[in-house]
Amino acid sequence: MQFLTIIRIVGVLVMSFSLTMLLPAAVALIYGDGGGREFLEAFALTFAVGATLWWFCRDYKEQLRSREGFLIVVLFWIVLGSLGAVPFILLEHPDLNFSESIFESFSGLTTTGATVITGLDDLPKAILFYRQFLQWLGGMGIIVLAIAIIPMMGLGKLYRAEMPGPLKDERMQPRIAEVAKMLWQIYLSLTILCGLAYWLAGMTPFDAISHSFATISIGGFSTHDASIGYFNSTTINYITVFFLLISSCNFALHFTLFSQLKDPKEKRKSSVLQRLYWRDYEFRSFLFIQIALFAICMTVLSLYNYFSTTDTTIDQVLFESVSISTTAGFGVTDFSQWSSFLPTLLILASFVGGCAGSTGGGLKVIRVLLLYLQMNREIHRFVHPNAIKPIKLGKSVLSDRIEEGIWAFFSAYIFVFILCWLMAILCGMQSFDAFNAVLASLNNLGPALGSVSTNFTQVPDGAKWVMTFAMVCGRLEVFTLLVILSPVFWKD
């Protein structure tokens, strides 16, 4: 294990991360409502930590293997999540203790969107911007940027460890640096387009930029306690839904689309969308889930006459069903008070989440699809024991290795969920509240039901550490974190 090389790389990444704290300091200077000094102090401290790590290991540049790549990814998130809490610790308003500061930082970086801060409307603009920017970095930008900057450091395996999804190696081309730069451009372009749309729809420039960060990252943080509902705008609601759906798609599809549109030999550009998106089984399954959730919620709420008009019902149902199922967690109404089984349905839908290779959380659509196909095959085998029925996606026959990996991941996911649930109860939470808090954390959702329907202020400090662990497991898709906890990982 090349520990000194790993420390050098982490030092470089920490120094790069420290620069992001200068942006909130600039926001504080522009608005003059406080927070600038604390962010400058946080920058100095974070940069000093990174520089120290790099300086003492600067001469170690050995080639890294896959094992080191996984360790760097985990260390990267743990170190950045910890150092990202420094501004929250230094700031006097909001007054957060150490556990709350760590929780808020990891919630931002993992794009979970769970918060322990209330009174957002009265906070300095600098801290509001910082929370949103943490989510944008965590969504995709921070890892992609790191790979694009230092592709020659042997970090190709980093992308494999970070990129979610069982079919990721088949989706992306092997040119890591080029792929990373293209994904960065796509991610930034979507953020700019989303921000412009919000601004044209009536948001202030600050709110438009801040919410575009949280939307494209599917994070769910807002600059207002009422979330998107603060703006009371149907147009803004639809803009949010549109960009959440785009960000929930596999970015490998976006990458291929941009690549083909830039190809001068590609003549039939009008058919690109059909060939890339509609023929992708995961994308079609994702759309089916979204349509089904919307139809079920519309039907039930219409029967109960929950909203006064049909237009309001469509607006509220479409927003909440997409926001919760994609694990964004934005809100325009209190969906936990909806009639019948709908709140539970939407919360459970977050287990599916977005597509593999997206900024969404959950198990990912492709895994749920493959689990469904495997279930169908086993049912068929009960009827016809001697039949040979491979699992196919279109004309592609999936290998046994992928099938085994899907079940292993699902088992690990459920194991971590149950473990964190029991630990949260041990920390003093009620069983129902603990269930929802762990669900929201592991799925990187944010709000749930019960006492965590709006924030996590009532969660005990001990349970906040459990939720932090669950958030990191969810963001790193369980195995990346669990693999370094295995004794086998540390054996040469």
Is 218 labelled as part of a ligand binding site? yes
74 Cβ contact partners less than 8 Å away, ≥ 6 residues apart? 476, 480, 481, 484
Q: Any idea how long the chain is?
A: 492
What is the signed CA dihedral for 266, 272, 275, 278, rounded to 10 degrees? Answer: 170
Task: Please give the structure tokens belonging to residue 481.
Answer: 């974190």
Is 112 labelled as part of a ligand binding site? yes
Amino acid 348 reads L
Is 444 labelled as part of a ligand binding site? yes
φ and ψ at 236, to 5 degrees?
-65, -40
CB neighbourhood size of 186 (10 A): 18
Rounded CA Rg of the chain: 22
Is 5 labelled as part of a ligand binding site? no
Is 111 labelled as part of a ligand binding site? yes
Is 327 labelled as part of a ligand binding site? yes
78 Cβ contact partners less than 8 Å away, ≥ 6 residues apart? 472
- CA atoms of 252 and 263, how far apart (whole Å): 17
Is 249 in contact with 364 (CB distance < 8 Å)? no
Is 164 in contact with 170 (CB distance < 8 Å)? no
- CA atoms of 168 and 165, how far apart (whole Å): 5
131 Cβ contact partners less than 8 Å away, ≥ 6 residues apart? 104, 108, 115, 117, 221
- Buried b vs exposed e over 192-213: b needs ≥16 C-beta within 10 Å? ebbbebbbebebeebbbbbbbb
In DSSP terms, which residues pair with 393 in a beta bridge?
A: 396
Detail the residues annotated as belonging to a binding site for K(+).
Answer: 111-112, 218-219, 327-328, 444-445
Feature table: binding site = 111-112, 218-219, 327-328, 444-445
